[in-house]
Structure 1
Amino acid sequence: MSSPFLFPLIQSTVIPNPSPFFSPNLLSSPLPTNSFFQNFVLNNGDQHEYFHPYLVKSANSSLSLSYPLMFFSTALLYQVFVPDLTISSKSSSRYSSSHRSHVVSSYSDLSVTLEFPSSNLRFFLVKGSPFITAEVTRRTSVSISTVHAILSFSSSDSLTKHTVRLDNNQTWLIYASSPVHFSRTSSSEITSDDGFFGVIRIAALPDSENPRSEETLDRFSSCYPISGDAALKKPYRVEYKFQKRSSGDLLLLAHPLHLKLLSETESNCTVLHDFKYRSIDGDLVGVVGASWVLKINPIPVSWHSTKGIKQDSDKEIISALIKDVKDLNPSNISTNSSYFYGKRVARAARLALIAEEISYPHVIPKIKNFLKQSIEPWLYGTFKGNGFLYEKTWKGLVTKQGSSSTTADFGFGIYNDHHYHIGYFIYGMAVLAKIDPDWGEKHKPQAYSLVEDYVNLGRNSNPYYTSLRCFDLYSLHSWAAGLTEFEHGRNQESSSEAINAYYSAALMGLVYEDSDLVATGSTLTALEILAAQTWWHVEESNDMYGKEFVKENRIVGILWSNKRDSVLWWAPADCRSCRLLIQVLPLTPITEVLFSDVGYVKELVEWTEPDLKTAEESSKGFTFALEGIYDKENALEKIRKLKGFDDGNSLTNLLWWIYSRGQGNTSQS
């Protein structure tokens, strides 16, 4: 369902102007605000982005490529950008580095096309391509330069393949669609004659163990992708389709999660297991084929715990529930922050579902009234000091506070954290619609307008919102940072709040009997969980992140497209309980799926425990909750002694969690 409902309009004073970078024909549609190429359309557009396996930087009417080396330490790891090769043309030299030289002429789920009008160059940048593909649109001279010294340069007899060896031990291969004569014009530059017109493809020779890597690149050099689309047509299934030109088969690269999910039989593709590029996300492995099918194991998306609670275990929960509900009062919510307010809404909704699960309906009417009184002002613009509004430049929701401040509501007004904030409200609205169907029907337009701000699909999209605002269909997880330029690209701190956003969308689908929304929400939830387990959760046996980092870390703080960091935006790396908390909250039935690896959970809790001596009471509960997965009785005793709780959590919720773990201690792994 797409809804015509719009929140009140606002003219934001803080969002950047997209018109210098997007082709005019794209400006009338909702624009991406958390995409893999976001740096290309912010400020001067000259900050690099990661395209697997290359870091790509656009500046001075040219494009620079880096096949990056990794920097490792105990605190962080990142890929170092060095402009190994820069592609330009004669006509680009007169433009200064501050000139906004490129235009995004098209983009899709897996690709972006950059036009350089002043250079007669067009680049098809496709995620996971081992080649960078440039189309020379008019006859011109092409220059390829480097910051390194060129040790040797050679050309094939046909002049359609050229080999450049650099003094940093890299070898780059240059393929041309027709003969082109390159000559060395300096120790760090080669230049073509003036007559070239066609396609040039450039690839770094991977440092894999396969001595036939060059043969592989030769074999697939002629067929190139110009775009890639990803579709969620069926539950727990993602389909990639790459548009290609020229004859032959298409060679692309898959990251570890792709490989885990890829169905070779349904995809009609072949995995080249010995053809690999290094990457911060793990080895990128060759896949031959223009259509991929990724199949995900279904997960339980339900309102209540999967194991249930025995009747003789509910007395303690009821006692806490009565007290927590008694304290509910909208006037006691002292914040007007969309994030912290949303957490309070979701906290109350949890109480209603727990009351349902333990068959104690007496408290539900008060919870229902609280949810109505706390949610409705945000929907109608009557909340004092804040509220959801719609801006028409990038086309999406902002908050009243965020429309005039880049820092208010954690940057919600510049499209940061939309899935986090709205996800909490969607959870509360879904629960309220469940316990009060009349309210749910009345406010269905608002509910859908909110959820479609971040869960919107191109095939039946709401024209007011961009497609999947936060979710990256190549990386298979979300990004939280919006219209801010970052050296290391997009980032996401809280993997668990991203999971909550899509889980909440699936619950909304359940309450409105919308099978498409259930399927989309459930599929994205499952992918976000798998991504968290792949890249955020750091087991002792992890061989992806280097021994130094793994030795000191059991969970990533902030995950960037080009960096892994141990710090948080709001806490230092040595606050281990903080790092655990932000990757666990909120505690709901889906948390059980996220932390299904009991062996890893035990590693994480033991790593966190030394920090609990000085940790705030409100953060301890999440560590104890995870401990309850494998040691229920000890965790329960610790929870009973807590004197404070996170603003999105409660004693009732922690007791529900412990008593729904099953009977006795758990030893499975």
Structure 2
Amino acid sequence: MSHNDHFLFPKVQSSVLSDPSLFFSRNLLSSPLPTNSFFQNFTLKNGDYPEYIHPYLIKSACSSISISYPSIFHNPPSIYQKFVRDLTIFATDKTTSASDKSHVITSYSDLSVTLDIPSSNLRFFLVRGSPFLTCSVTRKTRISIYSVHAILSVSSNSSLTKHTIKLNNGQTWIIYASSSVSLNPSVSLITSGGFSGILRIVVLSDSDPTCESIVDHFSYCYPTSGVAVLTKSSCVEYKWKKKGWGDLLMLAHPLHLDIICKDYCNVKILENFKYKSIDGDLVGIVGDCWMLKPHQVSVTWHSIKWVNEESYAEIVTALAKDVDSLDSSAITAKSSYFYGKLIARAARLALIAEEVCFLVVLPAIRKFLKNTIEPWLDGTFNGNGSTDSEADIGFGVYNDHNCHIGYFLYGIAVLTKIDSTWGKRYKPQAYSLVADFMNLDCLSNSNYPRMRCFDFYKLHSWAGGLTEFADGRYQQSTSEAVNSYYSAALMGLAYGDTHLVATGSTLAALETQAAKKWWHVKEGDNLYGEEFTRENRVVSVLWANKRDIGLWFASPVCRERRLGIQLLPISPISEVLFSDIEYTRQLVNWTLPALGREGVGDGWKGFVYALEAIYDSESALKKIRKLSGHDNGNSLANLLWWVHSREGKCYWSRVLPFSFVIAA
């Protein structure tokens, strides 16, 4: 993803982007800056919107850092965590600073961000999954700690290195100091004498009566940063840098616990040491190196089960009509998103034609793909997103780059497969598109930021771009995110690039498991509470700090759209995303009554019937045959291919096309 990213598309000066570089230290400005990171709010406008850095909401404002151990509010329309300034830490006496910003980002990585407060001597190591907030006081400084709650008591040990703070909201916080410091409490403010060294701040969880003794034991070792490494064995390895002495205590979310290799690096799981979170309970893990091994994913051009040969005729008839309707000159779509969907739709027709041995249509599809893809790769796109932040669904402000580009990569992969000469000609441009959202480098000479959309702690992608949101980044369509990495893996197959195949496969596997964990709401699950689970089978928009049932483009009553946006585009990888047949049945049964509303389009109905085909292909086929239209990224041929491959058999006697499987 980096060896071919020297190609650059024409640059366009944006008039709608903010300048996030204002919050970064100068030594970081030589590298492309992140645009969808877990700390993005710290870089936008005033930088004073909170971010969720598990297990705390952190807010930087007025040269201070506020920490909140949030309460979770459940109801059918949404679930959210409320930010409250439980504790606010700042220097009592401000120093003179050349910067007028509340904070400066001095370093960041996959699992951490470090904030310096220019008007003081305070540096905060914000490391994801640390139960402690760690502050380095670089010079002797008087510290103040404010709370919106009444401070009931402050008690200290004899060495003045451990201070226990009880608040009237029921919380108990502990402050550990690397050397003696005296605290002077009042009703809502605690002040200290001069101090330099390390402060570690932690709230006691009420999940385990031994919580205090555990944090006592691990208070001496603190993380300063953390990186994620994709290994050759298709795993993700976490490595934290630490200081102090003893073992490192961190917190794992539910997906971590599903895929962590428990025997690796002697990690120890503290099953009763838990912190509540909107993502599910965070559980204590002892160890500064983790290995995460996602489930196996097969990346293949064609259906996993194959199509029944008896069904070829019906598919071929639809295929001939769908191909005959291809006309690049008739396309009216201007945005990269809707244009890309049309490209990927045509590419699907080529692969279906291969699978049902109807190769006569390939020249027409190849011509269409060339005519539609080449103008974008040749740089004739006018950059309309640079002057209109709403154009291209926010592509110009770095929203949803993986989803948009993923559709193009699918078309490029298929066209390269059927026309290797074309693929060789446009390989630099193709790899530059991949690198836009899948660059693994952290080097200053890279053209793109590291992993623009993918979050190595949450293990899924984020959207939002350079837009400030009160609840952090969000993701709406998990299936389009999966498609982006799947398409990159297919492009690797087309070019014979095993590294790209492995990387795309691993990310697609992680994205898939994250979708099943946090978007797919099964009956009887307790992750989101009884009321939300009773009323919903899918999360529509997942924010860092909230779960919404409404879509950006539809209200909650549009269940067919809520289902469809988590399925489209339909391709072989869809079978992996919806491998849980019982959940799929629940989702379809929850959705079907909504199809009776006036104005429900056949395009969205097609996605509902496609999922129904997983467990009842006969019923779904009858309904699909009656549809009068399809989503602009879908087709009758694609739906028929999908239904008939639900009941297909593997014909091992035939020569199968090459596929790539990563070990789980």
> Normalised by the shorter chain, which TM-score bucket?
over 0.9
Task: Tell me the secondary structure at the aligned position of residue 507 of structure 1.
Answer: helix
CA deviation string 1:359-418 (max 9, x = no partner): 1100000000000000000111235xx4xxxxxxxxxxxxx0111111100110110010
Deviation at 1:298, TM superposition (A): 1.5
Q: Which residue, 40, 64, 70 being the options, matches 1:62?
A: 64
Residues 282 and 544 of structure 1 are in contact (CA less than 8 Å); yes or no, is this contact kept in structure 2? Answer: yes
Alignment of 1:479-628 (within 5 A): 479-614=462-597, 615-628=600-613
Deviation at 1:312, TM superposition (A): 1.6
* 2:190 is the alignment partner of 1:201: no
Residues 617 and 645 of structure 1 are in contact (CA less than 8 Å); yes or no, is this contact kept in structure 2? Answer: yes
* 2:449 is the alignment partner of 1:456: no
Task: Tell me the secondary structure at the aligned position of residue 200 of structure 2.
Answer: strand
RMSD: 1.4
Q: Which residue, 41, 46, 50 being the options, matches 2:43?
A: 41
CA distance in 2, matches of 1:19, 1:255: 31
CA distance in 2, matches of 1:278, 1:345: 44
Deviation at 1:650, TM superposition (A): 0.2
Unaligned runs of 5+ in 1: 387-399, 665-669
State the percentage of identical aligned residues.
Answer: 60
CA distance in 2, matches of 1:265, 1:514: 32
Residues 323 and 361 of structure 2 are in contact (CA less than 8 Å); yes or no, is this contact kept in structure 1? Answer: yes
Residues 307 and 661 of structure 1 are in contact (CA less than 8 Å); yes or no, is this contact kept in structure 2? Answer: yes
Unaligned runs of 5+ in 2: 650-664
CA deviation string 1:262-296 (max 9, x = no partner): 11212321000000000000000000000000011
CA distance in 2, matches of 1:594, 1:637: 24
Q: Which residue, 75, 78, 81 being the options, matches 1:76?
A: 78
2:344 corresponds to which residue? Answer: 346
CA distance in 2, matches of 1:226, 1:560: 26
Residues 128 and 252 of structure 1 are in contact (CA less than 8 Å); yes or no, is this contact kept in structure 2? Answer: yes
**One-letter code of the match for 2:154?**
F
1:389 corresponds to which residue? Answer: none
1:656 corresponds to which residue? Answer: 641
**One-letter code of the match for 2:192?**
S
Task: Tell me the secondary structure at the aligned position of residue 83 of structure 1.
Answer: coil
CA deviation string 1:399-455 (max 9, x = no partner): x01111111001101100100100000000000000000000000000000011001
Question: Structure 1 residue runs of 4+, over 4 Å off?
Answer: 459-462
Aligned in 2, Cα 1:35/1:520: closer, same or farther, shift over 3 Å? same
**One-letter code of the match for 1:228?**
G
CA distance in 1, matches of 2:300, 2:89: 52
1:165 corresponds to which residue? Answer: 166
CA distance in 2, matches of 1:513, 1:3: 17
Deviation at 1:585, TM superposition (A): 0.2
1:283 corresponds to which residue? Answer: 281
Q: Which residue, 227, 230, 253 being the options, matches 2:228?
A: 230
Deviation at 1:663, TM superposition (A): 5.3
Residues 278 and 284 of structure 1 are in contact (CA less than 8 Å); yes or no, is this contact kept in structure 2? Answer: yes
1:153 corresponds to which residue? Answer: 154
Q: Which residue, 337, 342, 356 being the options, matches 2:354?
A: 356
2:189 corresponds to which residue? Answer: 189
**One-letter code of the match for 1:170?**
Q
Deviation at 1:90, TM superposition (A): 1.4
2:119 corresponds to which residue? Answer: 118
CA distance in 2, matches of 1:304, 1:147: 59
Residues 493 and 582 of structure 1 are in contact (CA less than 8 Å); yes or no, is this contact kept in structure 2? Answer: yes
1:314 corresponds to which residue? Answer: 312
Residues 306 and 648 of structure 2 are in contact (CA less than 8 Å); yes or no, is this contact kept in structure 1? Answer: no
CA distance in 2, matches of 1:448, 1:347: 21
Deviation at 1:310, TM superposition (A): 2.1
Aligned in 2, Cα 1:191/1:525: closer, same or farther, shift over 3 Å? same
CA distance in 1, matches of 2:55, 2:589: 35
Deviation at 1:619, TM superposition (A): 0.4
Residues 235 and 523 of structure 1 are in contact (CA less than 8 Å); yes or no, is this contact kept in structure 2? Answer: no
Task: Tell me the secondary structure at the aligned position of residue 422 of structure 1.
Answer: helix
Task: Tell me the secondary structure at the aligned position of residue 395 of structure 2.
Answer: helix
CA distance in 1, matches of 2:443, 2:408: 23
Residues 452 and 462 of structure 1 are in contact (CA less than 8 Å); yes or no, is this contact kept in structure 2? Answer: no
**One-letter code of the match for 1:543?**
N
Task: Tell me the secondary structure at the aligned position of residue 158 of structure 1.
Answer: coil
2:30 corresponds to which residue? Answer: 28
Residues 442 and 449 of structure 2 are in contact (CA less than 8 Å); yes or no, is this contact kept in structure 1? Answer: no
Residues 3 and 449 of structure 1 are in contact (CA less than 8 Å); yes or no, is this contact kept in structure 2? Answer: yes
Deviation at 1:601, TM superposition (A): 0.3
* 2:452 is the alignment partner of 1:469: yes
Residues 521 and 536 of structure 2 are in contact (CA less than 8 Å); yes or no, is this contact kept in structure 1? Answer: yes
Q: Which residue, 324, 327, 346 being the options, matches 2:325?
A: 327
Q: Which residue, 602, 616, 632 being the options, matches 1:631?
A: 616
Residues 236 and 298 of structure 1 are in contact (CA less than 8 Å); yes or no, is this contact kept in structure 2? Answer: no
CA distance in 1, matches of 2:575, 2:551: 24
Residues 225 and 242 of structure 1 are in contact (CA less than 8 Å); yes or no, is this contact kept in structure 2? Answer: yes
Deviation at 1:458, TM superposition (A): 2.1
Residues 227 and 244 of structure 1 are in contact (CA less than 8 Å); yes or no, is this contact kept in structure 2? Answer: yes
Deviation at 1:297, TM superposition (A): 2.0
CA distance in 2, matches of 1:541, 1:510: 40
Residues 456 and 462 of structure 1 are in contact (CA less than 8 Å); yes or no, is this contact kept in structure 2? Answer: no
Residues 223 and 247 of structure 1 are in contact (CA less than 8 Å); yes or no, is this contact kept in structure 2? Answer: yes
**One-letter code of the match for 1:168?**
N
Deviation at 1:459, TM superposition (A): 6.8
Aligned in 2, Cα 1:33/1:127: closer, same or farther, shift over 3 Å? same
**One-letter code of the match for 1:166?**
L
Deviation at 1:462, TM superposition (A): 7.2
Residues 268 and 292 of structure 1 are in contact (CA less than 8 Å); yes or no, is this contact kept in structure 2? Answer: no
* 2:430 is the alignment partner of 1:431: no
CA distance in 2, matches of 1:103, 1:638: 58
2:662 corresponds to which residue? Answer: none
Q: Which residue, 253, 256, 271 being the options, matches 1:255?
A: 253
Aligned in 2, Cα 1:145/1:609: closer, same or farther, shift over 3 Å? same
Moved more, 231-240 or 486-495: 231-240
Task: Tell me the secondary structure at the aligned position of residue 193 of structure 1.
Answer: strand
CA distance in 2, matches of 1:307, 1:296: 22
Q: Which residue, 3, 6, 23 being the options, matches 2:5?
A: 3
CA distance in 2, matches of 1:52, 1:113: 15
CA deviation string 1:183-215 (max 9, x = no partner): 11x201111112x1000000010121x210000
Structure 2 length normalisation: TM-score? 0.96
Aligned in 2, Cα 1:577/1:16: closer, same or farther, shift over 3 Å? same
Residues 30 and 444 of structure 2 are in contact (CA less than 8 Å); yes or no, is this contact kept in structure 1? Answer: no
**One-letter code of the match for 2:191?**
T
Q: Which residue, 290, 303, 327 being the options, matches 1:292?
A: 290
CA distance in 1, matches of 2:571, 2:531: 33
Residues 2 and 460 of structure 1 are in contact (CA less than 8 Å); yes or no, is this contact kept in structure 2? Answer: no
Task: Tell me the secondary structure at the aligned position of residue 302 of structure 2.
Answer: coil
Aligned in 2, Cα 1:236/1:444: closer, same or farther, shift over 3 Å? same
CA distance in 1, matches of 2:380, 2:214: 62
CA distance in 1, matches of 2:95, 2:463: 37
Deviation at 1:515, TM superposition (A): 1.1
**One-letter code of the match for 2:620?**
A
1:241 corresponds to which residue? Answer: 239
Deviation at 1:12, TM superposition (A): 1.1
Deviation at 1:10, TM superposition (A): 1.3
Q: Which residue, 400, 405, 412 being the options, matches 1:417?
A: 400
Residues 416 and 483 of structure 1 are in contact (CA less than 8 Å); yes or no, is this contact kept in structure 2? Answer: yes
